[in-house]
Amino acid sequence: TQLLEQSPQFLSIQEGENLTVYCNSSSVFSSLQWYRQEPGEGPVLLVTVVTGGEVKKLKRLTFQFGDARKDSSLHITAAQTGDTGLYLCAGEDNNAGNMLTFGGGTRLMVKP
Amino acid sequence: KAGVTQTPRYLIKTRGQQVTLSCSPISGHRSVSWYQQTPGQGLQFLFEYFSETQRNKGNFPGRFSGRQFSNSRSEMNVSTLELGDSALYLCASSLYLAGGPYEQYFGPGTRLTVT
């Protein structure tokens, strides 16, 4: 069973600060996805990275897939209160019927 | 395009009862997956259906079952409910293009409380 570890588990910062969330595994994934979930709702897909070393930017969010496709990071620049939520990474394993393995999540709170 | 819909949104049941949850995927999506989310265990995969066949199954007891209909709508059933089954049950649909990333689109979930 593949495992994805996210760190930190909790993060509380002031509006305007920068932050980075990490997603690590000892296994190789064919793709890695990041989701954000707000209370009482389902996760919303933010981005998918598929190539080792790939970097994708979504406004103030920068996503990177590790060269070996075992890890990923999410960097938020100048965080806003609207960024508050649970951030989940999920790795896809082509050898396991394309199942997604989810990390434990990082709960981010951005204070005004 | 309408998103994934789940019904009901909230449900309260008593131990020993059974429950059926429903999920309608995004139009054109043939893959439907179910997850259980709890504060302690996070998001755990239950099973996935593709073209009416269960393609993958997570590590849950046989009390948890599901099915998919010809229109891709899916239901999951939990029999003999236990207190520990209280959770947010999430359904996700995927277009699943061969060779492409397996991106999933989640519904809002059904909050099940077992008393």
Segment B5-33 shows an average pLDDT of 96
CA distances to B17, B21, B55, B112 from B83, rounded to whole Å, are: 11, 17, 28, 10
pLDDT computed for residue A64 by the predictor: 97
Rounded distance between C-alpha atoms, residue B85 and residue A65, angstroms = 35
CA distances to A12, A43, A101, B12, B30 from A63, rounded to whole Å, are: 20, 17, 18, 39, 28
Q: How confident is the model at residue B102 (pLDDT cuts 50, 70, 90)?
A: confident
Residue A99 to residue B104, Cβ atoms within 8 A: no
Residue with the bigger pLDDT between B18 and B99: it is B18
Residue B106 to residue A44, Cβ atoms within 8 A: yes
Give the gyration radius of chain A's Cα atoms: 13
Per the structure block, which two tokens stand in for A27?
């296994």
Q: Is the peptide bond before B61 cis (omega within 30 degrees of 0)?
A: no
For an interface test with B, which of A2, A48, A100 has the most B Cβ atoms less than 10 Å from its Cβ?
A100
* Average pLDDT, rounded, for chain B: 93
Q: DSSP of A59-108, one letter per residue?
A: TTEEEEE-TTSSEEEEEESS--GGG-EEEEEEEEEGGGTTEEEE---EEE
Q: How confident is the model at residue B95 (pLDDT cuts 50, 70, 90)?
A: confident
Per the structure block, which two tokens stand in for B85?
């089954």
Q: Closest Cα partner for B96 from A51, A97, A46, A30?
A: A97
pLDDT tens track for B28-82: 999 999 999 998 888 999 999 999 999 889 999 999 999 999 999 999 999 999 9
Residue A59 backbone class (left: φ over 0; alpha: ψ -120 to 50; beta: rest): left
In chain B, what residues touch A100 (CB-CB under 8 Å)? 33, 45, 102, 104
Q: How confident is the model at residue B13 (pLDDT cuts 50, 70, 90)?
A: very high
CA distance B16 to chain A (A): 26
pLDDT computed for residue B101 by the predictor: 77
How far the first Cα of chain A sits from its last, in Å, is 40
In chain B, what residues touch A31 (CB-CB under 8 Å)? 101-102
Q: What string of pLDDT tens digits covers the 112 residues of chain A?
A: 568 999 999 999 999 999 999 999 999 999 999 999 998 899 999 999 999 999 999 999 999 999 999 999 999 999 999 999 999 999 988 776 667 889 999 999 999 9
Distance from the Cα of residue B78 to its chain's centroid: 11
pLDDT computed for residue A97 by the predictor: 67
Asked if the C-beta of A92 comes within 8 angstroms of chain B's C-beta atoms, the answer is yes
pLDDT computed for residue A98 by the predictor: 67
The DSSP code for A37 is: E
CA distance B67 to chain A (A): 18
Per the structure block, which two tokens stand in for B77?
């059933």
Asked if the C-beta of A102 comes within 8 angstroms of chain B's C-beta atoms, the answer is yes
Rounded distance between C-alpha atoms, residue B95 and residue B105, angstroms = 9
Cβ-contact A40, A55 below 8 angstroms: no
Q: Closest Cα partner for A99 from B59, B61, B21, B64?
A: B59
